[in-house]
Structure 1
Amino acid sequence: MNYKNKLREQVGMSLNDNELHTQIKKGLPFSNFYRVVEVTGISERELANCLALSKSQLNRRKMSGYLRHCESDRLFSVIEVLAMCVEYFDENECQALQWMRSKTKGLGYRRPIELMDTNAGCEIISNLIMRIAHGIFA
């Protein structure tokens, strides 16, 4: 099993893409938020920022038990990028998270984790990781 599927499984997301799409459309259970924090080492605040959730919104989602559709979609994108980064660092999660928190030349000296609050930002990070993995300097 590749790391992406392993991570999906650990945080409670379906490995079947069609089922996952349905889960995201309905809104993922809020428990997935805490599973991502627990499994990846990303902090609650960092993940909330990635989902563009204020503290009060985070509390409301916790009370309702579900993330909204757009937040669920963003959580999926965050997981995909984190998995890609961990795979690039030979499954060294600490090193991957350290890179995500470090200013990166290829992103105009911004931290990758700061861009993860949009799907476009996640795509930019994914593209950067692919360029680095293929020896294309960023």
Structure 2
Amino acid sequence: MHHEHYIPKTAQQPLKLTLKEKLGLPEDYPTMNSAIGQGFKFDVVDSIAHETELSETEILNALNLPDWNKVQKRKRSRFTRVESNRIYALIEAVTAAEALFEGEACAAINWLKKRCRGLGGRSPIENLNSFIELQQVLALIHRLECGVFN
């Protein structure tokens, strides 16, 4: 093959950023663990709402986070470690759901809001308040990726 005649194929689809990348969050776990320990800044909820088209109210309610009036009265302008863990769980679930729906963010968010038999009739977004709940959502996504629907 002569290299001067080589014409590369164009990319089929543009590279899509992960939600972590869109939010400017670290990709490596030690740095992310440190960020969670410090607590995410309050504006992360607004950023997630903007990137996912979930409303701030949906996010706060789904993750059992205090409403904005209570949050803004805090002396520290960051979420607690526990609250930041819940926010991170949402980020991981959105990322996994987007992969399940081959990058279709709207389809992923719609699925996250729908009730699932595999989660005891709760929606995946309502199932992110603890580590075990996040694991159930991720396991369900993995089963669906493998074609296991029950």
TM-score bucket (shorter structure)? 0.7 to 0.9
| 2:121 alignment partner, SS class | coil
Residue aligning to 2:54: 42
Map residues 1-138 of structure 1 onto 2, 5 A cutoff. 6-55=18-67, 56-60=69-73, 64-138=76-150
Q: Is residue 90–residue 125 contact of structure 2 (8 Å, CA) maintained in 1?
A: no
**Matched residue count:** 135
Q: Is residue 50–residue 78 contact of structure 1 (8 Å, CA) maintained in 2?
A: no
Higher relative contact order (CA 8 A, sep 6+): 1
Using the TM superposition, name which of 103-112 and 49-58 deviates more.
49-58
Answer with 1 or 2: which has the greater Rg: 2
State percent identity of aligned pairs.
26
Q: Is residue 19–residue 94 contact of structure 2 (8 Å, CA) maintained in 1?
A: no
| 1:75 alignment partner, SS class | helix
**For residues 41 and 66 of structure 2, what CA distance do their matches in structure 1 show?**
18
1:46 and 1:120, CA in 2 relative to 1: closer, same or farther beyond 3 A? farther
1:132 and 1:100, CA in 2 relative to 1: closer, same or farther beyond 3 A? same
Alignment root-mean-square deviation, CA: 2.0
1:57 and 1:120, CA in 2 relative to 1: closer, same or farther beyond 3 A? farther
**For residues 133 and 113 of structure 1, what CA distance do their matches in structure 2 show?**
18
**One-letter amino acid of the structure 2 residue matched with residue 60 of structure 1:** K
Structure having the higher helix fraction is 1
Kindly state the Cα deviation for residue 91 of structure 1 after the two structures are TM-superposed: 0.7
TM-score by length of 2: 0.80
Uncovered stretches (5+) of structure 2, i.e. residues with no partner:
1-14
TM-score by length of 1: 0.86
Report Cα offsets for 1:25-80 as digits up to 9, x if no partner.
Answer: 1111112121111111111112112332132433335x632111111111111100
